[in-house]
Amino acid sequence: MSARRLALVVTLVAVWFATTAAHAAPLPAPSAESALSETDVTAIYEQALRFYRPPWNQSRWLDVRLMRRSAGDTLERRLDPALASRLVERLGKGFCLLDAPERCRKDRGAELRVSDLVVERPDRVRVTVACRLVWPGFTMDNGAQAFVIARGARGWRIEDRSGAATP
């Protein structure tokens, strides 16, 4: 095997290990969420979910079950029911609760599930949103996005976003 091919193989293996390790990493544990007001929590989740605004012919169903923190996590945590209802109301047409989909199209769109909030600083929070596509007779995991949401002069806004692993 030539040195060039060997270098390519080593590079590919290193990239594969790096991406596999990133996908296996657990979500960080939540922190000091109580330092945020109810209004802040609502605004933060709203910003992350608004990224998934549906087109006219689709719906977004919010799953009230929170994402697992790691692959071995068996504890089921849920969004507060009042918070989930408030989010769906604020997000508007096309969004509904997975448990109560009456106001949404039923055959196409995406199911969304959020993580706990991870407070990095009082004005900077991380949250992950997992997306599962739903089409007639077909569903597929569509990965997740990790959002860094920061408070600025005009309220909470998405500062950064990247692909994320789901446990």
Looking at per-residue confidence, does 70 or 93 come out higher?
Answer: 93
* pLDDT class of 2 with cuts at 50, 70, 90: low
Given a cut of 90, whether residue 90 has pLDDT beyond it is yes
If residue 125 lies in a helix (H) or strand (E), which one and from where to where? strand 124-135
- pTM reported for the whole predicted model: 0.78
Given a cut of 80, whether residue 52 has pLDDT beyond it is yes
Given a cut of 80, whether residue 30 has pLDDT beyond it is no
Contacts 24+ apart (CB under 8 A), 20-26: 22/165, 23/165, 24/71, 24/165, 25/165, 26/69, 26/70, 26/71, 26/73, 26/167
